Structure 1
Amino acid sequence: MNTIVTISIVVLIILVIAFIGAGMWFKRLATTSDDFLLAGRKAPFWLLATAYLGGYVGGASVSGYVGNGFNSGISEMWASLFVVTGSVIFIILFSRRLNYFGRKTNAVTISDFICARYGEKLRVPSAIVSLTRPAILTGMQFLAISVSMKVVFGTSTEFGVVVSSIIILLYLITAGQYSALITQWFQSILQAAGIILFALVAFKVIGDPNTVTVAFYDVLPKSFTNFWAIDTSTFTVYALTLGLFYLADPWMYMWAYVGESPRVSSNGMLAVLGGSYYNVLPFLSGMAILVGVTIGKFTMPDGLAGDSLYAWFTINFSNTAVGVLILTGLMMTIISCGSSFAMNGVTILTRDIYQKIINKKATDKQVLFASRVSLVIVVAIGIASALWLPILVPLWALAQAIGLSGLFATTMSAWFWKRSTTAGALAATIGGGAVALCWAMYAWATTGSPGGLVFGLHAVHVGVAISIPLMIIVSLATKPDYEMAKATSYKVLGEEMKASKLIAEEDKPQRGGIFGWLCANTTGWKVFWVVIAVIFLGHYVLSLGFANQGLGMAMVWVSFIVGGLMIFMLAILGGKDIINMAKASKRAGDKLKDR
């Protein structure tokens, strides 16, 4: 067995044991269902930021994007650009109001928000649609680990899926969201280091970063450096499933509820926008590997899948220390994302199915137990989805298509359209989700993939095109309830936040303007947010203009520099929050002993 592989196995075993131990340590904090599901709504700024990054960058963002860069070049990066765009719009528009809404109503899921507006008739359909994504994406992370294990260790797909599911189950079942937050902090640091090191190795095989970047333009087809070399159908699929979807994403709703205040909820996630460059480096790495193959530096095994390129290249071209860090970082990337989506699925099953349907009078102790049972169920569904469709990106696209088709019209109307009705919401949720699923199954039968295009249309095109008219037509044909509309009104919630005692005064904007909204009241914070804004906007400028060699060179260097600096920032600041949480855990343990 390769030395890198052997040492990686040992390191991974040690880390898994450590994660389980951390879960046991923080179990004393998870004394209520709110603690288990949402970390008591107490996630501090930098821990929220780091853990969010750990969940945001997943298996598809590493293994899948390297393969996309290798096969199609920079134009495939529209996928990651739409993800970050949709996420930012959601954070700015909704995260603060949702955090307040959660504190006001004890909301846990996106269905709680929907039902506050349209009534409990929407509970089951919205829960089923919203569960689709976290369940499938949990399976997607199991599959990503399995693919890596197959390349690195030579194990079967089934074995890899089962092992990865057991790992995530063991450390989450103790403290739930607390376990997820703590481990995602550490995992995000390892994954960031792994992504940067992999890119450095991929470039070094050819030469220095400048030489490799020049080779992108001299060696590869021109379409590979043209960000706009993408067909219309693929562009619109990405725009809808990887951009617009995040405005109605059950996972983003969960993150909005977790923050210790509305300000932390939004600013914590915005603070890691520089992390978007961790999604750039895998594409550039894939292109660098293609340069190496094209100029004859090395050859690839016949039939090697793009999803397997990351692990294969690491084993064959890294020294022992770097290779271990890269492979460990890859596994941590996938595990952190998997645990985050698993917990999202747990919140939906526990809150929407058990607490609101099966046992409406459940005690908090019963709900806490049900949360752990729900985790087992989500993991089981994830295993089934991973083995049902063992390809990464189509699995992702299927989940996004069903979710967007069933939830977008319903949630946006709840926020902004007081004339919308329960009947309209039912029609849009059930009709949109069902049509998207049926179209995906038809595409699977005719093209071999549920993410395939039939007559140039993806499932999301058809689902959204059905759900929005259904919401409008049925709502206009039925009687509205304007009083219920106030519960989720964007305007009403915004006004309530200004006067609410649920929010500390320091967490409310004290003045107008961008800095006022950010609550940036010191020079240090103002400078911080200016830097973040420049880095974030630079992502768009450098991406859209990548066909220009100068901008392409800038993109390469900015990605390396920003990525490197963020590792230290997240390690130090997130670590401080971990220490404070550990102290709180110890105090909680001492109180239990005194009883």
Structure 2
Amino acid sequence: MDGYQLFMAMLAVYLCGLIGIGWYFTKRQKTVTDFWLAGRKVGTIGVGFSSAASWLTAGGILAVIGFFMLLGMGSIWGFVAPNILALLIIAIFVKRIKHLPAITQAELLEQRYSSAIRAPVGIIITIVMILFAVADIKGFALVLQIFYGVDPIYAALIVALAVSVYVTLGGLHAVVWTDVIQFAFLSIFAIIMAFLAVDSVTSNVATISTASDLFSGVPGDWWNPFIIGIPMVLIFVFAIIPGWITEQDPWQKVWAAKDSTSARNGLVLGSLLVTIVFSACAVIAIALSALYPEIPAAGFPMGMAQAEPALLTYIVSTFSPAIIGLSAIGLAAASMSCADTFATSGASCVSRDIYQRFIRPDATMKQMLAINRLSVLFIVAAATVASFFIDGIIEAIHIATFIASASYFFPLMGGLYWKRATKEGALAGLIVGAVAQISFTIYDKVMTSPMAPPYLETVHPILMNHGVIVGMALSGIAFFGVSFMTRPSNIVNLAPFFKEAAEELASHEAQAVDEDSAEYKKFLKNVDEQITGERAHLHLRLEGSATVNWTRFVEQLKDSYAAWVTPTGIDSVYRLIQADMLACVSITRGEGEKEIWFASEPPVDSVEMQKRELFIAYKEVAAALEETGVILTMANND
């Protein structure tokens, strides 16, 4: 058995394990929330390991090692520091977003502004996620090309097929727990390679006999993260970090967490895990620089063509086929742990923000689960095709980040914290930022000669990174300027985000419930209750006497009771009486066209009160349905 056959055998065993995890979670996919957010029941370990794994692509790791070899610690601001800082910053505002029942950022923005912004944001996020997935596929293609001389198309197919199978089977449940395994593979690989690379230096370089000799021989400037100058550090920070703190996939990990504490601690854990792997990358870079001194001597950017694959070259020239195969598995884990997250995140926009919101808002849960899986296949296929047209790994990541930063940073973050933000301002910021950034990027790519610095960077340093800071500035000016010139948002849009607006909306008189009545006791027997972390999950699944005309029913419900609103379309209807929208009772279609599913996720200390609210919601829904000629029934359960 040659080296490639050995690798394929190892890969087959590894992929069977991942697919087995996906198969295990298949039966847990009952609702859209189960598929995209793992039922909102992920703990600290799952959030932490999955967040770390999602941002450590194989191509990114190889590029980071290359940058360390050529630029030292001064290179951390282009990729390393933004990874770590973004997770910590998101952890700070977990409480601000955790109570929102969104599945995607586009859905959140519709809650805050209007339906007009949902489709554009959903499309932009889909494009961004495809570009991120491209970087994963290209990184793995580079690994197989150097290790085994395999054509890039086969690497793309391996990632595409593997990710498609276990994600479509198990949804985010499968993504999270395969990420835990894949991060373990990746981190062990990186740490072992760091030790082995140092050992190779001390064994083969005559002037270096100990690890102490190796590290003491590193030039002092190499260790200085501010060697590029504070102005350049600030340019990188403002160019990259806004895009990463508004990147959708870590927000979805927050929404998937069982409570705020798990989400916050998980993100902090994720940043620590990322730091450990990047520290190993720095050690590897120092050792490889000693083994291949001609690479750092070539300087940046000329030496990057050799620096990026330097680790792969070292592995091929040093180790046995078995070790090479295990190394390939470790880097495959990095590729797939990122690709699965980006496929899930992008596909949720296609399914939730495009199909369910605008094409089939009355789709049943069974129909949506099928669309969810098709959407995953679409994202993976699009990324696979795009990988043959984009050359640079980090370049693909940065282009995606810059588009996100310039287009929806201000509408998203401004909407969370600024009550005066309006839908017109959000649309203006989105359109101006997206058009400006895409135009800057295309112009910069066209005007830049091969092996030359980016053209816009030579015009002025503020135009570094395809002019993203200017793109963001234009977006911000449009967002704030138009918001001030237009009418404030509707109170229904403000209530989930601002407590005083929710209190104003909920000023109606509370309804009393006779808890000793036979009807209420029968109702409670039909309520499914589960406690997860700080919250309870209350579910009620009922069936009508005939097919429910969903559009007509929702209109009747809203006309009859002012508390019922559709801030994100008629597929989900909320009884909005408080700022904590997760606790508010919501209704959706069930698996069939006769079913209606009720849900509420209140804090544990208010479960009994929320059961009464659920009963009131049931009575109102039953009355509205009766007006449409449908009788809602409960099981006897005696």
Structure number having the greater helix percentage = 1
> 1:25 & 1:473 partners in 2: Cα distance?
51
Q: Aligned runs of 1:98-497 on 2, under 5 Å?
A: 98-102=97-101, 107-207=102-202, 211-212=210-211, 214-218=213-217, 220-230=218-228, 235-275=233-273, 276-294=275-293, 305-319=306-320, 322-447=323-448, 452=454, 454=456, 455=459, 456=461, 457=463, 458-459=465-466, 460-481=468-489, 483-484=491-492, 486-489=494-497
8 Å Cα contact 1:63-1:308 kept in structure 2: yes
* CA deviation profile, 1:498-557 (whole Å, cap 9, x unmatched): xxxx9979739xxxxxxxxxxxxxxxxxxxxxxxxxxxxxxxxxxxxxxxxxxxxxxxxx
Using a 3 Å threshold, how does the CA distance of structure 1 residues 306 and 31 change in structure 2: closer, same or farther? farther
TM-score (norm 2): 0.72
Using a 3 Å threshold, how does the CA distance of structure 1 residues 135 and 18 change in structure 2: closer, same or farther? same
- Secondary structure class of the residue paired with 1:489: coil
* Deviation, structure 1 residue 198: 1.3
Structure 1 residue runs of 5 or longer lacking an equivalent are 497-501, 509-595
1:62 match: 61
8 Å Cα contact 2:132-2:396 kept in structure 1: yes
> 1:194 & 1:263 partners in 2: Cα distance?
30
* Deviation, structure 1 residue 353: 0.7
2:534 match: 507
8 Å Cα contact 2:186-2:333 kept in structure 1: yes
* Deviation, structure 1 residue 216: 4.5
Using a 3 Å threshold, how does the CA distance of structure 1 residues 487 and 139 change in structure 2: closer, same or farther? farther
Using a 3 Å threshold, how does the CA distance of structure 1 residues 149 and 427 change in structure 2: closer, same or farther? same
Structure number having the greater strand percentage = 2
Using a 3 Å threshold, how does the CA distance of structure 1 residues 115 and 483 change in structure 2: closer, same or farther? same
Using a 3 Å threshold, how does the CA distance of structure 1 residues 7 and 175 change in structure 2: closer, same or farther? same
Using a 3 Å threshold, how does the CA distance of structure 1 residues 448 and 376 change in structure 2: closer, same or farther? farther
- Secondary structure class of the residue paired with 2:201: coil
Q: Match for 2:88: what amino acid? A: V
Q: Match for 1:162: what amino acid? A: L
Structure 2 residue runs of 5 or longer lacking an equivalent are 505-528, 536-638
1:34 match: 33
Q: Match for 1:54: what amino acid? A: A
8 Å Cα contact 2:49-2:270 kept in structure 1: yes
1:83 match: 83
> 2:37 & 2:230 partners in 1: Cα distance?
40
Using a 3 Å threshold, how does the CA distance of structure 1 residues 159 and 323 change in structure 2: closer, same or farther? closer
> 1:506 & 1:149 partners in 2: Cα distance?
43
1:562 match: none
8 Å Cα contact 2:82-2:244 kept in structure 1: no
8 Å Cα contact 1:75-1:227 kept in structure 2: yes
- Secondary structure class of the residue paired with 2:25: helix
Q: Match for 2:16: what amino acid? A: I
Q: Match for 1:42: what amino acid? A: K
8 Å Cα contact 1:36-1:176 kept in structure 2: yes
Using a 3 Å threshold, how does the CA distance of structure 1 residues 391 and 451 change in structure 2: closer, same or farther? farther
* Deviation, structure 1 residue 322: 4.5
> 1:374 & 1:68 partners in 2: Cα distance?
35
* Deviation, structure 1 residue 304: 5.2
Using a 3 Å threshold, how does the CA distance of structure 1 residues 288 and 23 change in structure 2: closer, same or farther? same
Q: Match for 1:69: what amino acid? A: F
2:525 match: none
* Deviation, structure 1 residue 453: 5.1
* Deviation, structure 1 residue 110: 0.4
* CA deviation profile, 1:363-393 (whole Å, cap 9, x unmatched): 1111111101101110122113311212101
8 Å Cα contact 2:87-2:267 kept in structure 1: no
8 Å Cα contact 1:242-1:400 kept in structure 2: yes
Count of residue pairs the alignment pairs up: 492
The answer to whether 1:7 aligns with 2:6 is: yes
* Deviation, structure 1 residue 435: 0.7
TM-score (norm 1): 0.77
* Deviation, structure 1 residue 72: 1.6
* CA deviation profile, 1:186-225 (whole Å, cap 9, x unmatched): 111111101101111221111299944543553x555423
Using a 3 Å threshold, how does the CA distance of structure 1 residues 113 and 430 change in structure 2: closer, same or farther? same
Q: Match for 1:318: what amino acid? A: F
> 2:327 & 2:502 partners in 1: Cα distance?
45
8 Å Cα contact 1:87-1:243 kept in structure 2: no
Q: Match for 2:368: what amino acid? A: V
After TM superposition, the structure 1 stretch with the greater mean CA deviation from structure 2, 209-218 or 430-439, is: 209-218
Using a 3 Å threshold, how does the CA distance of structure 1 residues 417 and 387 change in structure 2: closer, same or farther? same
Q: Match for 2:287: what amino acid? A: A
> 2:9 & 2:477 partners in 1: Cα distance?
55
> 1:7 & 1:195 partners in 2: Cα distance?
21
Q: Match for 1:291: what amino acid? A: A
* Deviation, structure 1 residue 285: 1.1
* Deviation, structure 1 residue 126: 1.1
> 2:393 & 2:166 partners in 1: Cα distance?
24
Q: Match for 1:249: what amino acid? A: E
Rg larger in 1 or in 2? 2
Q: Match for 2:72: what amino acid? A: G
* Deviation, structure 1 residue 81: 1.5
> 2:441 & 2:128 partners in 1: Cα distance?
14
- Secondary structure class of the residue paired with 1:126: helix
Q: Match for 2:480: what amino acid? A: I
8 Å Cα contact 1:36-1:175 kept in structure 2: yes
> 2:347 & 2:215 partners in 1: Cα distance?
44
* CA deviation profile, 1:322-366 (whole Å, cap 9, x unmatched): 544333211111111111111111111111011111111111111
8 Å Cα contact 1:315-1:323 kept in structure 2: yes
- Secondary structure class of the residue paired with 2:308: helix
8 Å Cα contact 2:288-2:311 kept in structure 1: no
Q: Match for 2:482: what amino acid? A: V
- Secondary structure class of the residue paired with 2:226: coil
> 1:12 & 1:92 partners in 2: Cα distance?
39
> 2:530 & 2:28 partners in 1: Cα distance?
23
> 1:165 & 1:233 partners in 2: Cα distance?
41
Percent identity for Structure 1 against Structure 2: 20
- Secondary structure class of the residue paired with 1:21: helix
* CA deviation profile, 1:429-451 (whole Å, cap 9, x unmatched): 11101110110011110115999
* Deviation, structure 1 residue 179: 1.6
- Secondary structure class of the residue paired with 2:82: helix
2:515 match: none
> 1:90 & 1:139 partners in 2: Cα distance?
24
> 2:471 & 2:212 partners in 1: Cα distance?
41
> 2:503 & 2:531 partners in 1: Cα distance?
15
8 Å Cα contact 1:193-1:325 kept in structure 2: no
Using a 3 Å threshold, how does the CA distance of structure 1 residues 410 and 430 change in structure 2: closer, same or farther? same
Cα-Cα RMSD: 3.0
Which structure would you say has the larger RCO, counting Cα contacts within 8 Å and 6 or more residues apart? Answer: 1
